[in-house]
Copies of this chain bind each other. A is one copy, B any other.
């Protein structure tokens, strides 16, 4: 096996993503030693029990000490505080990254606490499930998924570029495809592909739960006719998603505005019986599905393959 890309990795915050990074990195031999900090004593006990780490700490700086790579995997709004708490442990030349779903301002915030000798390279693996916590992690979570890195603006210097290449190698080693993008564009792309879908899913599930004429048990019983697809992403981690919407407010409201306009036009077409308009949209959207499947981002099986087929 090749030598580890980062001999020592520290993971600060160890839920679904943090624990999956650890399991994937160990499976790939991309790290030798793993040190973990988590704020939650129960999670720390679970991480010990699951044997993810060589050492588990209740102090972020102690976990970060001497690490070659520090991965911040806390909820997005806690990143800056987590970085500040870990910073006293940073060695010169450490690479500091994160896995948060919003990137605007993250580079600047981390750079302001990390010190000049750290290479700050914010990142975002586009992977996850609707489950949370350290026990939800698994080593193949990033396979065939994208990880977007958002390097600091103006850092064209060779040491920074080398650090970037090394971090790209790390993500590739654990199965991800890597894309480099500026943070503003990242937040707009994710507002469309992830944040709006989650917001809509949370909203429709909430609307259904509040009806008087249809009971909650009817909604659940008859959910297979479409509704259940939305419940999956509406079961995602509430704290993380609260942070996402608060941090990516501008892009989310912009995309939400367009969505609402389109929905009003659709509502009007239904009210006035404009069948051709409906048919035209419903035909156009099939193409996108074909693109998603052709790009290998989805199973081509009906119903995601969740039903057994003959």
B-contacting residues of A (Cβ < 8 Å)?
23, 101, 126-131, 136, 138-141, 145-146, 148, 185, 188-190, 192-211, 213-214, 216-236, 238-239, 241-243, 245-246, 249, 252-253, 255-256, 258-260, 262-264, 266-267, 270-271, 273, 275, 278-279, 281-286, 288-292, 295, 297-299, 301-310
Contacts and interface: CB of A to CB of B under 8 A. Distances in A.
A132 to B, nearest CB: 10
30 contacts: A128-B225, A129-B307, A193-B218, A193-B223, A193-B227, A195-B226, A203-B259, A205-B285, A207-B255, A207-B258, A210-B262, A217-B291, A220-B288, A220-B291, A223-B297, A226-B233, A227-B292, A228-B292, A229-B229, A231-B289, A232-B298, A235-B285, A235-B289, A235-B290, A241-B278, A242-B278, A242-B279, A256-B270, A260-B260, A304-B305
A267 to B, nearest CB: 6
A130 B302 contact: yes
B278 A309 contact: no
The 6 closest A-B pairs by CB, nearest first: A129-B302, A238-B282, A194-B225, A197-B226, A235-B289, A234-B285
A105 B136 CA distance: 48
Contacts of A282: 202, 234, 236, 238, 241-242
Contacts of A234: 282, 285-286, 288-289
Contacts of A270: 245-246, 249, 252-253, 256
Contact of A306 (B185, B241, B278, B305): B305
B273 A246 contact: yes
Contacts of A258: 207, 210-211
Contacts of A305: 304-306
A306 B299 contact: yes
B222 A193 contact: yes
A236 B285 CA distance: 9
Contact of A291 (B136, B216, B283): B216
B188 A230 contact: no
Nearest to A255: B207
A221 B291 CA distance: 9
A231 B292 contact: yes
Given A231-B298, A245-B278, 8 more contacts: A127-B224, A193-B225, A207-B259, A216-B288, A229-B232, A235-B285, A243-B275, A260-B264
Contacts of A207: 192, 196, 255, 258-259, 262
Nearest to A249: B270
